[in-house]
């Protein structure tokens, strides 16, 4: 009996489609094809690759309605956010179309040689293991720089967004990329582990949980393969007494509630100084109450279901743990299947799981502190290191805090977000390596020293 993988609409729990898992032979053939195509693809001029990338951008724009609808159906993202996700992928393609040639140009180094330089060569076949929460963006921010650098790619996407995975492969092929340059593998995680051990695979990129990251890193390390890990986050949002709530409150709400809170870089701990604490709780609560929950395919929906029922169940457990330890619910903590209502907690302490663990959903714990020094101490009390945001009118004061924040990103008066023009990644249990920008396209290349004697 052929094994199947199901895609289920989290809003109504209806099966969208079932997919046959690739057989071991099919997977073996796909891996070999990726290796064969690499020998051809690596020889293409960068201008040829970026021309195809421009085609991808155009196809995304042409298909934005159907692709955004597919995202919403498979993982429950409100439709306007799905549209925004596709638009962000278009921006990414356009950025590398414009800049890839400069990023990959030989770097001349002055030495005693007649000529010496760094040549940026692709590594080969790169394996990607990607999550469901941004089913297009997460894949594209891996695939675009990786393919443009001359590598080929194999994608193991999350099982609940198999339709998105196959749609992405179709886009690259329709854009003119050679078949085998980018391939989707419909398979289980135990099979992926064996694929990673294959000598053909030269490196791996994983976006996912800390647990998954440690497991993949262990295998990659054992087989001496490069890995880039973008793992969980527990980002702090620090709000100082002089913060301009009128100007930035919507940003703070979005920082927690965007994608129904299912984002590694969401604001997951609100650390507020005592002078503005009461005002912040009151105004933040009002804004969250006004967010409309409903069918995510409808234009005015702001909060959709979580991607799977078990995700909502786990979030409920985390909140109940906090309540047992003394936290208070201002609003929320109601679950119906995959739906979990936006929840605000006060009287939160640092021993609660909503503080120590990543909450992947619309839960906002709020903590009160005396000053910036105490806020930074609390913000950095985390095993994660993805990003921190700080809201204040005293930007000079905020700049002095940069060196005290050991995260991969520090945003002043804005939410932490990814941008193709800037490197993205974390520290500590949030992983290592960088995606996007020049740093991202340099992750899966061989920085080869070339020396020509006089």
Q: What's the pTM value of the predicted model, to 2 decimals?
A: 0.97
Domain count, the chain: 2
Over range 280-294, report the average pLDDT: 97
| C-alpha 364, offset from chain centre | 20
CATH number of 315's domain: 3.40.309.10
**What is the H or E stretch that residue 93 is in?**
helix 79-103
Question: Same domain, yes or no, for 167 and 303?
Answer: no
Question: Same domain, yes or no, for 280 and 407?
Answer: yes
Q: Is the pLDDT of residue 2 over 70?
A: no
In a domain, 366, yes or no: yes
Question: Same domain, yes or no, for 271 and 157?
Answer: no
In a domain, 337, yes or no: yes
pLDDT of residue 190: 86
Question: Same domain, yes or no, for 130 and 227?
Answer: yes
| C-alpha 262, offset from chain centre | 10
pLDDT tens digit sequence for 78-87: 999 999 999 9
Q: Is the pLDDT of residue 376 over 60?
A: yes
Question: Same domain, yes or no, for 143 and 252?
Answer: no
pLDDT of residue 3: 78
Over range 320-344, report the average pLDDT: 97
Q: Is the pLDDT of residue 246 over 90?
A: yes
- Residues spanned by the domain of 64: 4-231+430-452
pLDDT of residue 310: 97
In a domain, 96, yes or no: yes
pLDDT tens digit sequence for 296-325: 999 999 999 999 999 999 999 999 999 999
- What does the alpha-carbon distance between residue 349 and residue 368 come to, in Å, rounded to a whole number? 10
In a domain, 424, yes or no: no
pLDDT of residue 192: 93
Question: Same domain, yes or no, for 256 and 191?
Answer: no
- What does the alpha-carbon distance between residue 284 and residue 265 come to, in Å, rounded to a whole number? 19
pLDDT of residue 454: 83
pLDDT of residue 4: 87
pLDDT tens digit sequence for 352-373: 999 999 999 999 999 999 999 9
Percent of the chain predicted with pLDDT > 70? 100
pLDDT of residue 259: 98
In a domain, 19, yes or no: yes
Question: Same domain, yes or no, for 247 and 384?
Answer: yes
In a domain, 278, yes or no: yes
What does DSSP say about strands 267-273 and 363-369: parallel, antiparallel, or unpaired? parallel
Q: Is the pLDDT of residue 268 over 70?
A: yes
Question: Same domain, yes or no, for 264 and 394?
Answer: yes
- What does the alpha-carbon distance between residue 137 and residue 418 come to, in Å, rounded to a whole number? 10
pLDDT tens digit sequence for 171-198: 999 999 999 999 999 999 889 999 999 9
CATH number of 131's domain: 3.40.605.10
Confidence of residue 1 (pLDDT cuts 50, 70, 90): low
Question: Same domain, yes or no, for 126 and 180?
Answer: yes
In a domain, 405, yes or no: yes
Question: Same domain, yes or no, for 222 and 312?
Answer: no
> What token pair was written down for 348?
């939160």
Question: Same domain, yes or no, for 119 and 211?
Answer: yes
| C-alpha 449, offset from chain centre | 32
> What token pair was written down for 143?
């695939």
User: Contact at 8 Å (CB) between 92 and 420?
Assistant: yes
In a domain, 130, yes or no: yes
Percent of the chain predicted with pLDDT > 90? 98
Over range 247-269, report the average pLDDT: 98
Q: Which residues are catalytic?
A: 230
Q: Which residues contact 289 (CB under 8 A, 6 or more apart)?
A: 331, 342
Computed over every residue of the chain, the mean pLDDT equals: 97
Over range 71-76, report the average pLDDT: 98
Question: Same domain, yes or no, for 411 and 348?
Answer: yes
């Amino acid at each position: 009996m052929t094994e199947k993988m199901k895609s289920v609409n989290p809003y109504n729990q209806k099966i969208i489609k079932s997919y046959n898992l690739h057989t071991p032979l099919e997977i073996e053939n796909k891996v070999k094809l990726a290796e064969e195509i690499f020998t051809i693809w690596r020889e293409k001029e960068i201008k040829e690759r970026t021309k195809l990338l421009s085609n991808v951008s155009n196809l995304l724009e042409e298909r934005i309605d159907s692709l955004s609808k597919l995202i919403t159906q498979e993982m429950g993202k409100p439709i306007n956010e799905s549209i925004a996700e596709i638009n962000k992928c278009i921006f990414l393609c356009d950025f590398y179309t414009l800049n890839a040639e400069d990023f990959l140009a030989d770097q001349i180094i002055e030495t005693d040689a007649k000529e010496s330089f760094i040549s940026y060569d692709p590594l080969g076949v790169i394996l990607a293991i990607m999550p469901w929460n941004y089913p297009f963006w997460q894949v594209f921010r891996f695939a675009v720089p990786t393919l443009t650098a001359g590598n080929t790619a194999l994608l193991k996407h999350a099982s609940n967004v198999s339709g998105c995975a196959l749609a992405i492969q179709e886009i690259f092929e329709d854009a003119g990329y050679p078949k085998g340059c980018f391939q989707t593998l419909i398979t289980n995680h135990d099979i992926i582990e064996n694929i990673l051990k294959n000598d053909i695979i030269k490196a791996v990129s994983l976006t996912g949980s800390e647990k998954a990251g440690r497991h993949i890193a262990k295998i990659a390390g054992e087989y001496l393969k490069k890995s880039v890990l973008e793992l969980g986050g527990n980002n702090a949002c620090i709000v100082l007494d002089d913060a301009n709530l009128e100007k930035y409150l919507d940003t703070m709400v979005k920082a927690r509630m965007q994608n129904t809170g299912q984002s590694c870089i969401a604001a997951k701990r609100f650390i507020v100084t005592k002078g503005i604490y009461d005002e912040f709780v009151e105004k933040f609560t009002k804004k969250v109450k006004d967010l409309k929950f409903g069918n995510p395919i409808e234009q005015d929906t702001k909060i959709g279901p979580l991607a799977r029922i078990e995700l909502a169940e786990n979030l409920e457990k985390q909140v109940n743990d906090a309540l047992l330890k003394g936290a208070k619910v201002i609003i929320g903590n109601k679950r119906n299947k995959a739906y979990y209502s936006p929840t605000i907690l006060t009287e939160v302490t640092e021993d609660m799981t909503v503080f120590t663990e990543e909450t992947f959903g619309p839960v906002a714990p709020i903590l009160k502190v005396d000053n910036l020094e105490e806020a930074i101490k609390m913000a950095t009390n985390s095993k994660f290191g993805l990003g921190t945001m700080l809201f204040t009118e005293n930007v000079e004061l905020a700049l002095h805090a940069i060196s005290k924040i050991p995260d991969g990103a520090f945003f002043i008066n804005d939410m932490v977000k990814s941008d193709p023009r800037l490197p993205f990644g974390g520290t500590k249990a949030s992983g290592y390596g960088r995606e996007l920008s020049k740093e991202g396209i340099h992750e899966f290349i061989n920085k080869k020293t070339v020396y020509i004697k006089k």
